[in-house]
């Protein structure tokens, strides 16, 4: 065997990235952006993303009447084509479905991940109900509150994975606003050079640029990263009686 016949592949762990549905569905290049992220991140889609996709025909008719953000028709079409034409074992993207069989974990997650997500998501939904939230808000379009809650629950499930989302000109990103509405705080950490988040910010920027995603992200305007870390179940605790968000922590920074 000659030297040219030898190939060495080195696999290294990637940062986990939860993609805000607004970035995946809100513009025509959303599917290409999501797939591009898989080159440098372990990229996860939220459950509300699939709810929008499954109800795409209804949403396009209702969204303009309800005042919700309608998903981009071109993005929906490409996502549906991708879903219909991709074998279940060939997906590079990951997600948590309604059960283990409907999830795409790619063998890299433990068996309890779906149950942890349900616990975190259920506790957030309960807080949202007490705050007067609309349980089925996703039926009206790409609802920022529902999408933010899903992303936060998934971030916490993945031990504080980063959420990539838009940064509006008039305030904090949607997950941070969702936390504030539920009485939970998120610390802005950009101004602390001693924080590891300062190093992470530069790493994320380099990864996005190195993956060739700058042309896809530039039209989206300013972006932000949010992390949510909630209390995991303790041995002997009754999960139904424990609010994992009671002592949760969250951080965010503009990208």
- Domain membership flag for residue 58: yes
> Mean pLDDT: which of 74-83, 150-159, 191-200 is highest?
150-159
Query: Quick one: how far is CA 102 from the chain centroid?
Result: 17
- Domain membership flag for residue 180: yes
Residue 89 contacts by C-beta under 8 Å, 6 or more apart in sequence? none
Residue 213 contacts by C-beta under 8 Å, 6 or more apart in sequence? 33, 36, 37
Instruction: Give the per-residue pLDDT at 239.
Output: 54
Instruction: Give the per-residue pLDDT at 11.
Output: 53
Number of domains in the chain: 1
Q: Which domain holds residue 71?
A: 13-97+106-254
| Confidence grade of residue 54 (pLDDT, cut at 50, 70, 90) | confident
Report the candidate in 159, 165, 142 with the shortest Cα–Cα distance to residue 63: 142
- Domain membership flag for residue 234: yes
The tens digit of pLDDT for each residue in 154-176 reads 999 999 999 999 999 888 999 99
- 90 CB-contact burial (10 Å; exposed 0-12 / middle 13-18 / buried 19+): exposed
- Domain membership flag for residue 6: no
Q: Which residues make beta-bridge pairs with 203?
A: none
- Domain membership flag for residue 2: no
| Confidence grade of residue 227 (pLDDT, cut at 50, 70, 90) | very high
**Across the chain, what does the average pLDDT equal?**
82
Q: β-strand 187-188 against 249-254: which pairing, if any?
A: parallel
- Domain membership flag for residue 5: no
pTM (2 d.p.): 0.85
User: What number is the average pLDDT over the span 72-76?
Assistant: 84
- Domain membership flag for residue 148: yes
């Amino acid at each position: 065997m000659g030297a040219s016949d030898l190939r060495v592949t080195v696999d290294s762990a990637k940062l986990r990235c939860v993609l805000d549905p607004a970035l995946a569905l809100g513009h025509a290049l959303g599917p290409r952006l999501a797939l591009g992220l898989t080159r440098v991140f372990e990229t996860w889609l939220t459950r509300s993303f699939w709810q929008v996709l499954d109800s795409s025909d209804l949403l396009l008719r209702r969204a303009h009447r309800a005042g919700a953000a309608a998903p981009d028709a071109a993005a929906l079409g490409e996502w549906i084509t991708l879903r219909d034409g991709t074998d279940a074992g060939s997906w590079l993207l990951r997600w948590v479905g309604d059960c283990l069989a409907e999830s795409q974990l790619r063998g890299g997650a433990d068996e309890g991940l779906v149950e942890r997500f349900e616990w975190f998501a259920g506790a957030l939904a309960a807080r949202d109900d007490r705050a007067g939230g609309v349980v089925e808000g996703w039926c009206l379009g790409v609802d920022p509150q529902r999408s933010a809650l899903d992303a936060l629950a998934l971030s916490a499930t993945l031990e504080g994975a980063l959420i990539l989302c838009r940064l509006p000109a008039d305030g904090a990103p949607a997950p941070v606003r969702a936390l504030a509405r539920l009485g939970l705080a998120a610390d802005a950490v950009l101004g602390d050079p001693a924080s590891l988040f300062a190093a992470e910010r530069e790493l994320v920027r380099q990864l996005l640029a190195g993956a060739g995603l700058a042309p896809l992200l530039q039209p989206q305007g300013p972006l932000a990263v949010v992390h949510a870390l909630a209390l995991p179940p303790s041995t002997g605790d009754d999960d139904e009686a424990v609010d994992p968000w009671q002592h949760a922590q969250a951080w965010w920074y503009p990208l």
